[in-house]
Amino acid sequence: MKARRCLRRMDIRVNGHNRGAAAAVAPQVRQQRSSSVPGARPTTLDTVILLTTLRAWTGRTADRLDPGDEAAWVPGGDLDDALAVLNGARDVFGDAQLVALTLDPAPTGVPVPGAVDPRHVAEVRYARRGPDGRHTALLRRPEIAEALGLLPHPEGGWFRETWRAPARFTPAGYPGERASATGIYFLLPPGEESLWHAVRSDEVWLHHHGDPLVLELGGTGERPAPVERVVLGPDVLRGERPQALVPAGTWQAARPDGTRGTLVSCVVSPGFDFADFRV
């Protein structure tokens, strides 16, 4: 097939159903015709991104990744095209954490679609889903996030829930039952920010590693209005604090103050629920 740029419909099979999602085909796409001759290769592309679930990726064996129905194939290897496919198929993949696997076609091309050899995966990127449910970025996972199993957070940074208290109750003013408390790891790499947001519950930030963290508090109005600045960090003699409280309903934003990034824990009580989160 001659190289060209065009729009086409890609079939996505998820949970046994065919769905269409628009994707742009990048230049220099090469297809080989498969045949009934024994040993013939299936259709291949010079470069392709496989979109699948984190569950499928972590469930791979040493020599086989079979995403089954949880897959979409994006010809050309363009990340913007991959994001367009994800946002065109939000109801298909549901709430699963998604990854974008760039497949190395050398030397003879990657079979599409079907099972692939994980050793052909040249790059793994993690999809960030914003507060409105749309995917906003495909990100390389930082080393610390990889070590701790952290995933992209909607407001920025990387996180993993580490604790959810078994005791549950229905707090006054909340729409339903909540855990009594929850805890997460939260990593802000250099250049990333935790954007302005507010949580219905009290939240305690605890500094663990890396640069000091600038935490801004913006009051409890309809929109943030910065009124206080706290620096989290280990150097208490220079005014840094190992921990800080963000009172319930208070607007907050955070950024690392340096080039290494910052790892903290956040403990929320009553326990965190995205229904209690606003931006």
What pLDDT is attached to residue 47? 82
Question: How many whole angstroms separate alpha carbon 18 and alpha carbon 274?
Answer: 31
Q: What residues have CB less than 8 Å from 43, skipping those under 6 apart? A: 31, 32, 33, 34, 111, 112
Give the three-state DSSP class for 50.
Answer: strand
**How far is Cα 98 from Cα 86, in angstroms, rounded to an integer?**
9
When the pLDDT of each residue in the chain is averaged and rounded to a whole number, the result is 84
Domain shared by 84 and 192, yes or no: no
Q: Which of 24-33, 101-110, 115-124, 164-173 has the highest mean pLDDT?
A: 164-173
**pLDDT band with cut points at 50, 70 and 90 for residue 113:** low
- The H or E element spanning position 8 is strand 6-14
Same domain assignment for residues 132 and 20: yes
Q: What would the pLDDT profile of 44-58 be if each residue is shown by its tens digit?
A: 557 899 999 999 999
pLDDT tens for each residue of 201-245: 999 999 999 999 999 999 999 999 978 999 999 999 999 999 999
pLDDT value of residue 173? 93
Lowest average pLDDT, out of 45-49, 98-102, 252-256, goes to: 45-49
Same domain, 94 and 14: yes
Task: For residues 132 and 236, state if they share a domain.
Answer: no
Range of the domain at 26: 6-139
In this structure, is residue 176 part of a structural domain? yes
Does residue 82 sit in the same domain as residue 147? no
Residue 165 has pLDDT above 70, yes or no: yes
Residues 147 and 102 in one domain: no
177 contact partners, CB below 8 Å, separation of at least 6? 168, 169, 170
Is 1 contained in some domain? no
74 vs 29: CA distance, rounded Å: 11
Residues 154 and 240 in one domain: yes
Is 34 found in the same domain as 129? yes
Please tell me the predicted confidence (pLDDT) of residue 44. Answer: 56
Judgement on whether residues 151 and 171 belong to the same structural domain of the protein: yes
The amino acid sitting at 28 is: Q
0.85 exceeded by the pTM?
Answer: no
